[in-house]
Amino acid sequence: MRYPEDQKARTRQRILDEAARAFRREGIGATGLQPLMKQLGLTHGGFYAHFSSKEELVALALQQIGQQWHDRLEQETEPPCSQPLIEHYLSEHHRDTPEEGCPLPGLCYELSQRGRSSPETDRLVRHWLERLDSRMAGQDDSGGQAVLMLSAMTGALLISRCVTDRHLSDRILAITRQALLAMASTPGPE
């Protein structure tokens, strides 16, 4: 049987898409190649027709995740309104769907533990900081506030995901969201 010419490229993309979701949902180390391929209805051996190693898959998946979040941030409302960005990031939906969300809360720790940094992670962090900074133009030390906001958002999201008490999890998101929204709405000096 003859396959369409783009079948290999489509299969490779399916593997990348599923890996990107699995890495955010379960972590890189906990995502095995065999279960990943089985989830897609493919054989473990077939993986090597598309990628030379899991490390290559990790690098490409991180690149894809970074590009997706870069594109998503570009589509967000224009400066100076940071409210929708903060509200989305610190939402129950974002907490409950890590496979769709920002990779920073889950993957940064794992990458640092593996002794590997990622240019894609650097790019995503820089882009987040630029977007937050542009939304706070005119405020004192908006660059410093952007670092604080990103750190608080990713930390709160990570902590809200790791506690088992749903009320406490909701409270962590709500309090952080309120504080960051207040910080973002504080006008700078005239």
Within a domain: 148 = yes
pLDDT, residue 39, reads 92
Within a domain: 65 = yes
* CA distances (Å), origin 134, targets 38, 70, 122, 170: 44, 15, 18, 28
CATH number at 115 reads 1.10.357.10
Rounded Cα gap, residues 23 and 143, in angstroms: 30
Number of structural domains, the chain? 1
Sequence-separated (6 or more) residues with CB below 8 Å from residue 99:
21, 22, 24, 25
Rounded Cα gap, residues 15 and 57, in angstroms: 9
Within a domain: 1 = no
Within a domain: 53 = yes
pLDDT in tens, the chain (190 residues): 566 778 889 999 999 999 999 998 888 889 999 999 999 999 988 899 999 999 899 888 888 887 777 677 667 655 545 778 888 899 999 999 998 888 888 877 777 776 666 777 787 788 778 877 776 655 656 568 889 999 999 999 999 999 999 999 999 999 999 999 988 877 654 4
Rounded Cα gap, residues 190 and 185, in angstroms: 14
What does the block give as tokens for 73?
A: 């941030």
What does the block give as tokens for 162?
A: 């790791």
Within a domain: 190 = no
Give the residue numbers spanning the domain of 119: 7-185
